[in-house]
Chains A and B, each alone.
Chain A
Amino acid sequence: MEVTQDTEERIVEPGPAGFHPPSAAELGVLPPKSGFGLRFGHEVQEELAMEEMARSMLTRKNATIFPGPLVLWNWNDHAADKAKAVLELAAQLPEVMIIPMPDYRPKYPKIEPEEMINPNHPNLTIWGNKIEACIFIGVHCHYANLTLKMIRAGTNCWTSAICAEQGHEDAMFTVRDSDAVKIRRIAQVFKRVREEMGIQVPENGENVRFTGLQSQVHGGKSHTNPLDIPLGGPGGANAEAFGHRPEDMKREG
């Protein structure tokens, strides 16, 4: 099966698009209508966009999910439920990595680009881990849009954005209005596409590949079962499972 089944001329193409490409909006692409998604800048039925996300994440190298603050921190029960749904989505992707975007501030004096992604220099994380497909979820729209533009400019990563609001035109694939129910529906689409492609997940369910820091946090293990990742207590959510503690968010004086 091909990586993608699109036949239209692509508007929002995978990068590297160049030194300073125009934004998708400048190319005339806008977020999709309710019930629709985007595939390479074209509005399509959202099920099709979900299938394309699955194909790119199942076939390209070092596929990674980038959860943002809206699902990474335990704001409320809804956020916790969405975080759980994201892990159910991850359970359908063999060898997937989960690298958080815990906040949006520039990291000084040095970022650990292989352990986290940041909207001010997302290309470092993509390059450092040689990521060729990714999904952003739970990132505030402004920062997701910055990130998606920079990744498209400077890397060959195929980007997907699962958005709780209107979707992201700078991603190669996007769906909108994604609450926990829709994220679970996307997980089911991923499962179907994976099975159609004859791709198996490990029998023990340990399909998520740890980064270096994550491996240290988990006693040297290389993989984990995402459904076994505990959701943390107040303020913690599952960020701790990826080596990020609430203390990391400590305010400076």
Chain B
Amino acid sequence: MSDALESEVKTNPQGDPITAAPAPPSAQSGKKDPHAEAKRQKVVTPEYMFHEAPREKEFITGSEAAKEAVRRSNVDLSIAYPITPQSETMQLIGVLYGEGYVKEYYRGEEEYGVMSAIAGGSRAGVRCFTATAGPGTLRGLEPIASWPGHRLPAVCMFTCRVVNAPLAIQPDNIEMAYLLHCGMIIFHAENQQDLFDYIMMAFIISEKNDVTLPVGVCCDGFFVTHARGYCSMQDKGLKLPEREAWRGAVPVLDAENPPARLSRDAPVQKSNFMAYNIHAVWQQEVWAAVERSRKYIDQYMDGLIETQNVDEADVLLIASGSAAAQCREAVRECTAKGIKAGLIKIKSLRPFPTKELRQLCSKAKLIVVPEFNYVGWLAKEVATAIYGYSNAKIVGGPHVYGGMSMPVEMIVDEVICGLSGKRSSTVPSSAIMGQVDPDAVAHFMQNI
């Protein structure tokens, strides 16, 4: 690429990345180098970046938080394809490219092409970032689902929205139900701060040798991407170390070996040339790598869950993403009504905090799992995890979807219905598992 062309591409003004800007005068004329600040970034260890570096608080959108995370993450390649509510994020990553913080950036043909190209970039040994949402997630799902088997460390942000049809662009996190079984690591951000932290940490966790897996950082579109919230961030003069691809669990861009060679070799499946269980152990290995990521999630993210008021709680609200924010307020309202309620916020859905939930739910009487989707994927995960370890009644709801917001009162009503045995006006009986002890109900009714 010629210097002139490169200069022209990389001068989009911040906040208006679509507008064509005139090419700046050449460096020889003494004008400021647009990459000067990026070049001055100092590499620090992940431990310093995440746990020690001083932070300053800003009031920003989730898209801006993602941009600031990528700015500090030493990203080599980012590929964009627009879809609401993710478009702004990837526009802002384009601004970072203009400023020299991201080494390569372009717009793909569509999501299948983007996710395939991210696979190529990651396999070539560079640090990759992209983002998509809703129908884009599903369009890109085939290559996304192949990333773990290829052992590709990459980070993809999913700004969840309705999946068609009918067409809508509103918040709904049904797409996470599809992502949970790909073999990738999945985090769910509650707010702008989570999104900022999780993206940066995701790069480091995904690239650990015994992990070498992609990470999906999910958030609920609009609630997080377009709303503003306080976000404490390290100095933008700091960045994470670059990817050490040679330390990965598979060789870098070895086109002569599977899985890269699959297009020319016979499939890796039982045959005269393969062991009968080759693909089976390959899948086992992907999920073993998911398990190995737990210690790094503990190390960098302070665990797979976050808790509030769980000691001595009769009622536990278990939630991830934006539903956790609604639950915080519901806990406050329940406490004001004299109900001992606590919150378990699930930060990591893959790996899933099975052990933690079994321990924390052992004495609970009622568990309520509010979600922003129809199918209730989290309630099913929770019920499966704690079966046999808790006698609590589990309410798989309340659910909102198709762009609805979740009033805090909905959650509080479910707590009261769950404890009192009253019939719920929003959660069908088919989504309620187990029964509360009648003595506990009597106690509750006397004290409320």
Measured CB to CB, the residues of A under 8 A from B are 20, 22-26, 30-31, 69, 103-108, 111, 120-124, 140-143, 145-146, 149-150, 153-154, 165-166, 169-170, 249, 251-252
Binary flags per residue of B271-286, CB closer than 8 Å to A gives 1, else 0:
0011101101110110
Q: Does B261 belong to the interface (CB within 8 Å)?
A: yes
The answer to whether A106 and B266 touch across the interface, beta carbons within 8 angstroms, is yes
The answer to whether B210 and A166 touch across the interface, beta carbons within 8 angstroms, is yes
A145 to B292, CA, bound (A): 13
Q: Does B247 belong to the interface (CB within 8 Å)?
A: yes
A31 to B293, CA, bound (A): 11
Binary flags per residue of B47-68, CB closer than 8 Å to A gives 1, else 0:
0000000000000000000000
A25 to B258, CA, bound (A): 23
The answer to whether B273 and A106 touch across the interface, beta carbons within 8 angstroms, is yes
Cβ contacts under 8 Å, B282 to chain A = 146
Select B247's contact among A20, A108, A149, A165, beta carbons within 8 Å: A165
The answer to whether A140 and B249 touch across the interface, beta carbons within 8 angstroms, is yes
The answer to whether B288 and A105 touch across the interface, beta carbons within 8 angstroms, is no
Cβ contacts under 8 Å, B257 to chain A = 103-105
The answer to whether A140 and B295 touch across the interface, beta carbons within 8 angstroms, is no
Q: List 5 A-B contacts (CB under 8 A).
A: A26-B284, A104-B258, A105-B256, A124-B275, A141-B209
The answer to whether B212 and A142 touch across the interface, beta carbons within 8 angstroms, is yes
Query: Nearest 9 pairs between A and B by C-beta?
Result: A25-B288, A142-B249, A23-B284, A149-B281, A141-B249, A165-B209, A166-B210, A25-B291, A104-B257
The answer to whether A145 and B285 touch across the interface, beta carbons within 8 angstroms, is yes
Give 9 A-B pairs besides A106-B266, A140-B251, A166-B210 with Cβ atoms closer than 8 angstroms: A20-B277, A20-B280, A104-B254, A104-B257, A124-B275, A141-B249, A145-B281, A150-B277, A166-B209
The answer to whether A25 and B273 touch across the interface, beta carbons within 8 angstroms, is no
The answer to whether A30 and B273 touch across the interface, beta carbons within 8 angstroms, is no
Cβ contacts under 8 Å, B212 to chain A = 141-142
A108 to B266, CA, bound (A): 10
A252 to B266, CA, bound (A): 15
Interface residues of B in 262-276 (CB under 8 A from A): 264-266, 268, 273-275
A106 to B273, CA, bound (A): 7
The answer to whether B210 and A141 touch across the interface, beta carbons within 8 angstroms, is yes
A22 to B294, CA, bound (A): 19
A52 to B291, CA, bound (A): 26
Q: Does B151 belong to the interface (CB within 8 Å)?
A: yes
Q: Does B117 belong to the interface (CB within 8 Å)?
A: no
What is the distance, in angstroms, from B84's C-beta to the closest C-beta of chain A? 37
What is the distance, in angstroms, from B393's C-beta to the closest C-beta of chain A? 29
Given contacts A31-B210, A140-B249, contact A23 B287 (CB under 8 A): yes
Measured CB to CB, the residues of B under 8 A from A are 151, 209-210, 212, 247-251, 254, 256-258, 261, 264-266, 268, 273-275, 277-278, 280-282, 284-285, 287-288, 291-292, 294-295
**CB-nearest residue of chain A to B355:** A28
A106 to B274, CA, bound (A): 7
Given contacts A31-B292, A120-B273, contact A149 B256 (CB under 8 A): no
Select B268's contact among A31, A106, A111, A251, beta carbons within 8 Å: A106
**CB-nearest residue of chain A to B294:** A30
The answer to whether A25 and B292 touch across the interface, beta carbons within 8 angstroms, is yes
Cβ contacts under 8 Å, B288 to chain A = 23-26, 145, 169-170
Cβ contacts under 8 Å, B275 to chain A = 120-124, 150, 154
A103 to B254, CA, bound (A): 10
What is the distance, in angstroms, from B19's C-beta to the closest C-beta of chain A? 45
The answer to whether A143 and B268 touch across the interface, beta carbons within 8 angstroms, is no
The answer to whether A108 and B292 touch across the interface, beta carbons within 8 angstroms, is no
**CB-nearest residue of chain B to A124:** B275
Cβ contacts under 8 Å, B277 to chain A = 20, 149-150, 153-154
A23 to B289, CA, bound (A): 11
What is the distance, in angstroms, from B168's C-beta to the closest C-beta of chain A? 40
A24 to B291, CA, bound (A): 11
What is the distance, in angstroms, from B150's C-beta to the closest C-beta of chain A? 10
What is the distance, in angstroms, from B124's C-beta to the closest C-beta of chain A? 16
Cβ contacts under 8 Å, A149 to chain B = 277, 281, 284-285
The answer to whether A142 and B278 touch across the interface, beta carbons within 8 angstroms, is no
The answer to whether A107 and B273 touch across the interface, beta carbons within 8 angstroms, is yes
**CB-nearest residue of chain A to B208:** A166
**CB-nearest residue of chain A to B211:** A166
**CB-nearest residue of chain B to A110:** B273
Select A146's contact among B247, B248, B285, B295, beta carbons within 8 Å: B285
The answer to whether A106 and B151 touch across the interface, beta carbons within 8 angstroms, is no
A140 to B254, CA, bound (A): 12
Cβ contacts under 8 Å, B268 to chain A = 106, 120
What is the distance, in angstroms, from B251's C-beta to the closest C-beta of chain A? 6
Cβ contacts under 8 Å, A141 to chain B = 209-210, 212, 249
Cβ contacts under 8 Å, B210 to chain A = 31, 141, 165-166
A249 to B266, CA, bound (A): 18
A26, A107, A166 pick with most chain B CB within 10 angstroms:
A166
A145 to B287, CA, bound (A): 12
A249 to B257, CA, bound (A): 11
